[in-house]
Structure formats: structure tokens, C-alpha cells
Amino acid sequence: MADHIDIVEGAQLPVLERTIELADMIAYAGATWDWHRLHYDPAYLAEKRVPAPVVDGQVFGAYLAEQVLGAFGTRAEIRKLSFRFRSMVFAGETIACHSEVSTTEPTSGGLIVGVAQKILVGDRVAVAPAFAEVMIHE
């Protein structure tokens, strides 16, 4: 895990990149009990006229969460996370999670941090807007 960034408004979190191979998608499908054929079945994809296996959208929430927790360390606890899908991502593509500290608010026991996030595939927006609210415990 990364260790760690200065938590000030405007601070950029280290970009989290993942090339999502079909094997990663199979692993995620198994881990989440989601065996929808859209994520792996060539015959099904051909019938639906989809060019390649489609990455499960909810995995992007997992990546956004891991980016934040990796940057803020084990004292961080995500309270809220929201994200909207903009375009499909296909097997073999490389995603990049970009995040910036947008708000900080001291509170009893720590600091509440707002993080504005998005996911790009090259110049294409895959997920945006996205937002995390994180409690950093003292």
C-alpha cells in the first residue's frame, strides 16, 4: 500500500491503473457470484452484437475505494461512495482512477475528507462523477 499523501484540498491521489484482462474479470465474477454471460461468453456476446466481454460496472466502485484507502492508509474508513457510469469498458482495456481531495472538515476523532473521483480509459470517460467521503481517524 502507498504511504501516504498530505491531506489538503486540491491534493491529487496517486493514479490507480489496472489493465483488466479476461482472467481478472473471471476472478471478479467468481468472487461476487456474478456469472452473467456478458462478462465472458463469446457466443452470447456475438448474439448480442457486443464486441468483447464487458467489465462488470460495480468493480469500478471497488477500484475507487482501494485508491482512496491506499492513499490514506489503515486509519481511513470510507463512509460514502457514489459513481455514475458513462461508457462500457471491455476486456483488455486499461483504466485509470483519478482522484483529488475536494474538502476537508475536522471533526471529533479525526478528519472528514471529500474526494472527487473519475475513471478514464485513455481519453474516454468510463465513470464520472464519482465521490468518496472518508473518515480519517486520529
Residue found under cell 504511504: 3
User: CB atoms < 10 A from the CB of 96, how many?
Assistant: 16
Q: Is 21 in the site for other proteins (CB under 8 A)?
A: no
Q: Is 9 in the site for other proteins (CB under 8 A)?
A: no
Helix (H) or strand (E) holding 107: strand 94-107
Pick the closest to residue 112 from 83, 86, 137, 75 (CA basis): 137
Smallest separation, CB 37 to other proteins (Å) = 4
Q: Is 58 in the site for other proteins (CB under 8 A)?
A: yes
- Residues lying near other proteins in the complex (CB under 8 A): 1, 18, 24, 27-28, 30-38, 41, 44, 57-59, 61-63, 65-66, 69-70, 74-75, 77-85, 137
